[in-house]
Amino acid sequence: MAQLSAAPGGILTQAQTDSHVGLSNLFLSVVAHDLRNPIHLVKMNADLLKKEIKSKKSAEKLEHRISNIQRISESMGRLVDLLLDASECKTGVASLPIQKRKTELFSVLESAVENYSLLCSKSNVNIRLYTIGGVDFLVSCDSDRIEQVFGNLLDNAIKYSPRNSDIVVVLEKKESCLRVCVKNEGCLLNAQYSGLIFDRNFVFDARSYGAKGLGLFICKLIIEAHGGKIWAEVDSGIFRIYFELPF
């Protein structure tokens, strides 16, 4: 969070103090929200690992499960570091830290699909990942942050999809960017609100979607910090959400 400039005499005004506290609280809410998904995934992987050990699965299978837990835990650790930064008033939502490096985006999406497929088993929802327009999908991005975005989108899609339906993910190579689309059925959102869902204060109908969340607000912050864009489309109960990352 940017350091506040004190008023003459070294005393912060009430307005500065309120703004400072508001940004700090918002950032804490963002990080706390984003810790929930990986914590749930760690628990699911740990539960499966316990069952696989009892059933004497192959060493390769067990190692794969342990690797998932390690990777997700490392991601959680990085989020906690951001939380500590916020508590020291060094960073905030307005200056979301992004560490870009050349990343094979398909690998990021594939890994997330594998993890979130664990959440689909109870509702018989399938996640299908397709590519269009390329054999490599390299882009300069913060892979941890983009995995956060994609994880939030998959979590929403799983939560609101009807039983025995498909979630379709398409990674497309465009002229100046990579575009990702996540499509699911069962959307009860009116199309006129599709542009508002990224607002921090937007509330879905409680009967259909539960309480207000920060997920899409977080996604918008991250994508825009990469110089990209994110938007949603609703048509006849089909919900599509897109994001683009420039090369």
Three-state DSSP at 191 gives helix
- pLDDT for 169 beyond 90: yes
Alpha-helix runs per DSSP H in 89-214: 105-116, 143-160, 206-209
55's tokens:
């059933």
- CA separation for the pair 165, 227 (Å, rounded): 33
Q: What are phi and psi of 168, to 5 degrees?
A: -110, 125
Share of the chain above pLDDT 70, in %: 72
- CA separation for the pair 3, 191 (Å, rounded): 40
Pairing mode of beta strands 166-173, 177-184: antiparallel
Cβ atoms within 10 A of the Cβ of 198, count? 20
Inter-residue contact 62 to 49 (CB < 8 Å):
yes
Share of the chain above pLDDT 90, in %: 33
- CA separation for the pair 92, 102 (Å, rounded): 25
Question: Which whole number is the average pLDDT over 151-160?
Answer: 88
Q: What are phi and psi of 13, to 5 degrees?
A: -75, 165
Residue range 40-94, pLDDT digits in tens: 778 877 887 888 888 877 887 788 788 778 777 776 776 666 555 444 434 444 4
Q: What are phi and psi of 139, to 5 degrees?
A: -150, 150
Q: Is 138 left (phi over 0), alpha (psi -120 to 50) or beta?
A: beta
Q: What is the pLDDT of residue 8?
A: 44
Q: Is 108 left (phi over 0), alpha (psi -120 to 50) or beta?
A: alpha
Provide the edge-to-edge strand list for the sheet that holds 229-235.
126-132, 166-173, 177-184, 238-246, 229-235
* Partners of residue 103 on adjacent β-strands: 139
pTM of the prediction? 0.69
Pairing mode of beta strands 126-132, 166-173: parallel
Closest C-alpha among 188, 224, 218, 187 to residue 200: 218
Residue range 192-244, pLDDT digits in tens: 878 888 887 676 654 444 334 567 887 898 899 999 999 999 998 899 999 99
Alpha-helix runs per DSSP H in the chain: 14-54, 59-87, 105-116, 143-160, 206-209, 215-225
Give the type of residue at 159.
Answer: K
